[in-house]
Amino acid sequence: MTTLTFQDRAGAMGLEGILYKGLFRYSDSYSEVVYRRLTTMPSDEGDNNHDTDNTVVPLLGIFTKGPDWLDYMYCGYVSDKYQFIGNENLNHQIRNSIQEVGLPIVNENTLLSYDLTRMRNEIIIQSSRNIPQHGDILPVMIIENSYNGTKAATVSFGLSTFINNERVIFSFNLGEMRQVHIINSSTVMASVISQYMQVFSENIVDLVSQNFRSRLTEDNMLGTLDLIEKIGKKKREEISKFLQEMNPVGEGETPQLPSAWQMFLAIVRYSSFENNLNSKRLLENIAESVLVIPGRMYNVLKQLG
């Protein structure tokens, strides 16, 4: 069976081919990316044999540019087998699926890595539930993508709320859908989104209530903070400080251990404003490990992934 090359698949993947230059380009409102076929160069050791000069190798260089940048940035390379999907193409597909469900989009928050090869788009959906202890909580679809092969396109499910008048967003690792599933029809994706909206509506009150009542042990708390410190000592200090603010004690009183919900909120409050997308995901995974997820919600999320 013949394997199609990147060039053979470029058009179907949404790339514009500039064949006489060996370039393949995609652009949207976020950025522009160009893939260029790599070739061998003459030897630096004075070898006069030019038979291997300009030989095409099965790799493509990556160059990115912001909408207002004058020049491109070189960002590494991918193999000829790389499966490309454009950021806006992916976002548009998920928006269409949400609209098929019939729920309005409240807001979108898009984050890009410094070199524009990684994207995270958070789509907040209008289907809030008011929790007496905490206020409104809304469902979120989180879309992640990369242009350098470090992360396959994924869609995950999460929630959004406010802490001290600041919107924070959390993404479950449980139930994350990878690229092989995402490229299905928008109708299939709409069905998946509809399932999450239903389980969110039915279980979010229980999720908050159970975790609000669940008090961490000292070992649980210190173990969680130790995991955070592996990402960064300052992160541990900031999260510990916020936990203390949520559990103020008077002079001579013994500090109360935080609830699972308070620990979750402390981590998510920090992760929401983390610019490094890898660190953000690691913090969210730690926050998720603290949560007690209702059985029905856990099973649906596991099934969706």
Cα separation, 79 vs 112, whole angstroms: 22
Which pairs with CB-CB distance under 8 Å and at least 24 residues apart come from 238-244? 238/270, 239/266, 239/267, 239/270, 242/266, 242/269, 242/270
pLDDT for position 181: 62
pLDDT for position 304: 85
Contact 269, 289 (CB under 8 A): no
Contact 101, 193 (CB under 8 A): yes
Alpha carbon of residue 196 to chain centroid: 17
Cα separation, 297 vs 200, whole angstroms: 7
Cα separation, 167 vs 273, whole angstroms: 10
Cα separation, 81 vs 79, whole angstroms: 5
| pTM: predicted TM-score of the whole model, two decimal places | 0.90
pLDDT for position 185: 66
Cα separation, 101 vs 19, whole angstroms: 41
pLDDT for position 194: 92
The DSSP output letter for 265 is H
| Residue 222 CB burial class (10 angstroms; 0-12, 13-18, ≥19) | exposed
pLDDT for position 252: 65
Q: Which of 198, 185, 193 is nearest to 93 (CA)?
A: 185
pLDDT for position 1: 56
pLDDT for position 160: 95
Which residue's entry shows tokens 């409104």? 136
For 14-36, write each residue's pLDDT tens digit.
999 876 677 999 999 999 999 99
pLDDT for position 250: 66
CB atoms within 10 A of CB 63: 20
Cα separation, 122 vs 136, whole angstroms: 17
- List of residues 6+ apart from 18 with CB closer than 8 A: 24, 25
| Cα Rg of the chain (Å, integer) | 23
For 78-126, write each residue's pLDDT tens digit.
999 999 999 999 999 999 999 988 989 999 999 999 999 999 999 999 9
pLDDT for position 255: 74
Q: For the chain, which ranges sit under pLDDT 50?
A: none
Angle formed by the axes of helices 186-213 and 260-271, to 10°?
A: 130
